[in-house]
Amino acid sequence: MTASAALSIRGISKHFRGLAAVTDVSFEVPAGAVQALIGPNGAGKTTIFNMIAGGFKPDSGAILLDGKPLVGKRPDEICRAGVGRTFQLVRPFNAMTVEENVAVGALVWTDDLDEARDHAVGVLRLLGLEDKRFALPGNITLPDRKCLEVARALATKPRLLLLDEVMAGLRPTETDRMVGLFRDLNASTGLTILLIEHVMRAVMALSHSIVVLHHGQVISAGTPEQVTRDPAVLECYLGEEAL
């Protein structure tokens, strides 16, 4: 089984009542790439994630994973198709231990609880959370809860991982650790990663390419170097001093 999947977004739009959240957005995430989706608050980034993961149905347009359409499928079907996601605000299963949280993710590909729990321990070890595995999510720190969110998504063995601001609220050293982790994962398994991120330090260190959204539209796309020199991006998002 390959760990990579290519994502193709073709002209998707989403309106909430009169508000156009996303308008005719298209971009490609090649298999094995790490791509960032950046832009100001309200640009439509999370809305796009929700459309990919099946939370919202786009009003128009197509979303393809390895050429197969995702639009119209339920979130759990999209997960089984190979898309793992994290939520911007962490949403752990609070009454279950850290290990049990992650094991639920692994149960998507196995019916054997022991196998799922073993896999969960492995994923937690990878993320440096192994010693917290019997803790309840309410009793660990926010960075650890963010890690748990990632661990749970990784346990489903995704081929495309959607990360929604997992670095937000982390200290720089923790950010660097997360960056290292995703870089290793991407290099060792070929896992395709699409991330929404405001922490430019992480975006620049991780991504092969960047898509910039503003008011629900793509205003720039390219390598990190190209995007950060784009006047349109500097004006609406990064600011002049980013250079």
Partner 1 sequence: MKRLIEGVPLRGLLLLAVCAVLLIAAPYFVSDYVLSVLIIVLYFAYTGQAWNLMIGFAGLLSLGHALFVGIGAYASAALFIHYGIGPWAGVFVAIAASVAAGCFIGYLGFRFSIHGVYFALLTIAFAEFTGIIVDHIRWLGSTEGFFLPVSNRQTVDLLNLRGSQAMFYYVILGLTGAALVLCRLLLNSKLGYYWQAIREDQESAEAIGVHLFRYKMIAVAISSGLTGIAGVWYAFYYNNLFPESTFATGKSIEIILGPVVGGVGTLFGPILGAFILTPLGEVLTSLTEGLKIDGVKQLFWGACVAAIVLFRPTGLWPWISSLLGLDPRRDGDKR
The minimum distance between CB 43 and partner 1, in angstroms, equals 22
The minimum distance between CB 154 and partner 1, in angstroms, equals 10
Cα(165)–Cα(33) distance, rounded to whole angstroms?
18
Burial of 131 (0-12, 13-18, 19+ CB in 10 A): exposed
Structure tokens at 173: 């050293």
Where in 54-83 is the site for partner 1 (CB under 8 A)?
A: 55, 74-76, 79-80
Cβ count near 191 (within 10 Å): 25
134 binds partner 1 (CB under 8 A): yes
Residue number with CB closer to partner 1 (43 or 78): 78
Q: Which amino acid is at 136?
A: L
Residue number with CB closer to partner 1 (18 or 138): 138
Where in 14-53 is the site for partner 1 (CB under 8 A)?
A: 53
* Residues 166, 150 contacting (CB under 8 angstroms): yes
153 binds partner 1 (CB under 8 A): yes
The minimum distance between CB 124 and partner 1, in angstroms, equals 14
Cα(97)–Cα(137) distance, rounded to whole angstroms?
7
104 binds partner 1 (CB under 8 A): yes
Of 1, 21, 10, give the one whose Cα is nearest residue 65: 10
Binding residues vs partner 1 (CB under 8 A): 53, 55, 74-76, 79-80, 84-85, 87, 91-97, 100, 103-105, 107-108, 111, 113, 116, 134-136, 138-139, 152-153, 155-156
